[in-house]
Amino acid sequence: MLTLHAPAKVNLFLRVLAREPSGYHQLETLFCSLEFGDTLLLERKESGISLEMDGPDICPPEENLVYRAARAFLRVRGEGDGVRIVLRKRIPTGAGLGGGSSDAGATLLGLTDLFPGRVDEVQLMSMAKRLGSDVPFFLARSSLALARGRGDRVRALQPLPPAPALLALPPLTVGTPHAYGLLARSREGLKPGHEARTFSAGDFSSWDALRALARNDFEDVIFQEYPTLRPIREALEETGPVLSLLSGSGSALFGVFSDETEALGAESVLAPKFPETRFVLTRTQSRWADPRLLGGVEREVGD
């Protein structure tokens, strides 16, 4: 049985740009993967897809992105192949940590190992894009990447040294469509969203450099809609992280720290203040993207 890790991600910055006529928004964000994540186990079987799930927020198997990823892969493969998948969930849903997308990316990678040489990299990335805008990032296995477009144009960056991170996981979920609706209403009557900016290599050269970029356009509207989140964010910032933000459209918040002692100290301060919030100590990952899937490091998918 093949075992795979599906890492969570955080957004080290997130800018929501202009809205397309289709209703989708253009994004500019920096993804960073974490050691914290889900586990998948895959093995071949004669036919069909079976998905067993263990953990919180379990949905019907046929609605899970893991099942949909396996179905898309096996359709390309043709009849006569099947897979059994066990998904052990740790990443909460509706938290902005990319759990479903990461599970889907790991599933596609695992299936290429179980059925080698039958689906090429172009087909695999096309599947990833159809499954969700974050899936290409997880499929490429980069630990640090700049994403644009709808989040599916991914440029892998040189990884930073791994750093301790503290996740704050409040007991609420935020739906992404709802978050975008809140942001759109807050911008009614204003000029179109920000334009994409040009970055230099130095912008991503260190954790201190990234602090200057750290912002999330969702924070104001999400904190207004879910007022219990703002005090956690403010208290987290007071513990002295290198940077701290809401991840994605929430509800998770995170801080990146310079050393593990500081992260442990932050957890000891915050946990008693917010007993209903789960705090998870983890680390950021440091690994290069798979060049077979990105077509080479620092090349954009879809170019």
191 is a catalytic site residue: no
What's 69's domain CATH number?
Answer: 3.30.230.10
Contact 66, 26 (CB under 8 A): no
Q: Which of 9, 81, 152, 217 is catalytic?
A: 9
CA dist 298 to 75, 106, 144, 218, 263, Å?
A: 31, 21, 11, 27, 31
Please check whether residues 169 and 275 belong to one and the same domain: yes
Q: Which of 38, 81, 134, 152 is catalytic?
A: 134
Dihedral (C-alpha) 15, 19, 23, 26: value to the nearest 10 degrees? Answer: -40
Residue 239, domain extent: 164-283
Q: Which helix (H) or strand (E) holds 253?
A: strand 253-256
User: What percent of the chain clears pLDDT 70, i.e. is strictly above it?
Assistant: 88
Please check whether residues 66 and 194 belong to one and the same domain: no
129 is a catalytic site residue: no
Query: Cα separation of 230 and 211, whole Å?
Result: 19
Residue 2 burial class via C-beta count within 10 angstroms: exposed 0-12, middle 13-18, buried 19 and up: middle
Query: Cα separation of 137 and 277, whole Å?
Result: 28
pLDDT tens for each residue of 218-274: 999 999 999 999 999 999 999 999 999 999 999 999 999 999 999 999 999 999 999
pTM of the model: 0.91
Task: Write down the mean pLDDT value for the chain.
Answer: 89
- Which residue shows structure tokens 């290069």? 288
Please check whether residues 221 and 97 belong to one and the same domain: no
pLDDT band at 58 (very low <50, low <70, confident <90, very high): confident
In-domain check, residue 26: yes
Q: Which helix (H) or strand (E) holds 126?
A: helix 121-131
pLDDT tens for each residue of 282-297: 999 997 666 455 443 3
Among 156, 187, 221, identify where a domain stops: 156
What's 253's domain CATH number?
Answer: 3.30.70.890
